[in-house]
Amino acid sequence: MSTSQSASKHHVVETHGPGVTARAGLWLFLLSEILLFGGMFVLYAMYRYKFPADFHAGSQELSRFDGTLNTIVLLTSSLTVVVALFSLHEKRNLRRSAIFLAATIALGLTFLVVKSFEWSTKFEHGLYPGAKFLATQPHGFILFFGLYFTMTGLHALHVMVGMGVLSGVLNFALRGKITPERINIMENGALYWHLVDVIWIFLFPLFYLIS
Amino acid sequence: MTYPRYILVWVGLVVLTAITVTTASLNFGRVGILVVLAIAAIKSTLVLLYFMNLLFEKRLFLKILVPIAIGVLTIFIGLTYTDVLFR
């Protein structure tokens, strides 16, 4: 009882053993992800500096409502995944943990559905790399949509991978392979999902909110 | 952490999102990009510290990893800017 009380005050973080090694490995992987997207952000920054008007025009084509909606969806999915981890790790409630994991996966799917509607609208308007209409537009406008599809596309790919990882975590948890004592896999799956959210936190204002 | 605290962090993130969307439609001009980036930085810090548990991380190595990555990225972007500016 006393351990669970102290656990609710401070998140129990292992300081030694395989759990730490697994977490350290995942953080190193997350760093490589940050630098992967970081390189693209550098490219974005330079082209936006060079073509401010075209980037503004490109941003006007995007739906601010859809972008905001997807931001809320991803932020909420970050909450549900951390609640899923907390429920099993510290409250030892497998049922609640499984429900919140499933909710996280469902929110990931919601994000992708909204994204697919956005993309199909762009396709209808001839705004995709290689489109005849886009080719007639100013250089910076073409670059904006090239970066938009590359960066949000790579991000969407990460959402899909995250959903796959969390499905595996859910499966393991239900089969008793993830327990409060052996939480690494769920912890690392949640960390990956949060990073996908952090990347979107930057993508959203850079593409949708150019004033 | 507790359930209400996690929800509080989420409320903070949603409020910051509302602020960033509002400021963007107010047209701050050149300063606008700095405002939205500052808010994005605060939001990601909240996620890193509370959701990703870096606030409670006891291993120094893991605590300093992210600041190092951000430092590297800043040098990266800074050097590229000087190249583009003085070309």
The ipTM estimated for the assembled molecules is 0.89
Q: Which residue in A211, A103, A54, A23 sits closest to B63, CA to CA?
A: A23
Task: For residue A68, give the 3-state DSSP assignment.
Answer: helix
Residues 6+ apart with CB under 8 A from B35: B20, B23, B28
* Distance between CA atoms of residues A165 and A189, nearest Å: 6
Confidence of residue B8 (pLDDT cuts 50, 70, 90): very high
**Nearest-CA distance B45 → chain A (Å):** 9
Of A88-92, B44-48, B71-75, give the lowest mean pLDDT range.
B71-75
pLDDT value of residue A59:
92
8 A C-beta contact, residue A118 and residue A66:
yes
pLDDT 10s digits, A110-130:
999 999 999 999 999 989 888
A113/B contact by beta carbon, under 8 A: no
| pLDDT, tens digit (0-9, with 9 covering 90-100), for A73-85 | 999 999 999 999 9
**Vertex A86: Cα angle to B62 and B43 (nearest 5):** 60
Mean pLDDT over the full length of chain B: 87
Chain A neighbors of B76, CB-CB under 8 A = 38-39, 42
A20 reaches B (C-beta below 8 A):
yes
CA contacts within 13 A on the Cβ side of A22: 15
The pTM of this model reads: 0.90
Measure in Å the smallest separation between the Cα of B23 and chain A Cα atoms. 9
Question: What integer pLDDT is reported at residue A4 of this predicted model?
Answer: 43
In the CATH scheme, what architecture does the domain A2-208 have? Up-down Bundle (1.20)
| A24-65 pLDDT per residue, tens | 899 999 999 998 999 999 999 889 989 999 999 999 999 999
Q: What is the mean pLDDT of residues A148-174?
A: 97
- The secondary structure of chain A in percent helix, strand, coil, rounded to multiples of 5, reads 80, 0, 20
| Pick from A105, A30, A134, A121: nearest CA to A67 | A121
Show the CA angle centred on residue B1, arms to residues B65 and A165, nearest 5°: 60
pLDDT of residue A7: 44
To the nearest whole Å, the CA of A49 is away from the closest chain B CA by: 9
pLDDT on residue A16: 66
Q: Which residue has the higher pLDDT, A69 or A10?
A: A69
B-chain residues within 8 Å CB-CB of A49?
81, 84
Chain A residue closest to B21 (CA)? A209
**Is B56 close to A23, i.e. CB distance below 8 A?**
no
- Judged by CB atoms closer than 8 Å, whether chains meet at B21 and A191 is answered as no
Q: How many CB atoms lie within 10 A of CB B65?
A: 19
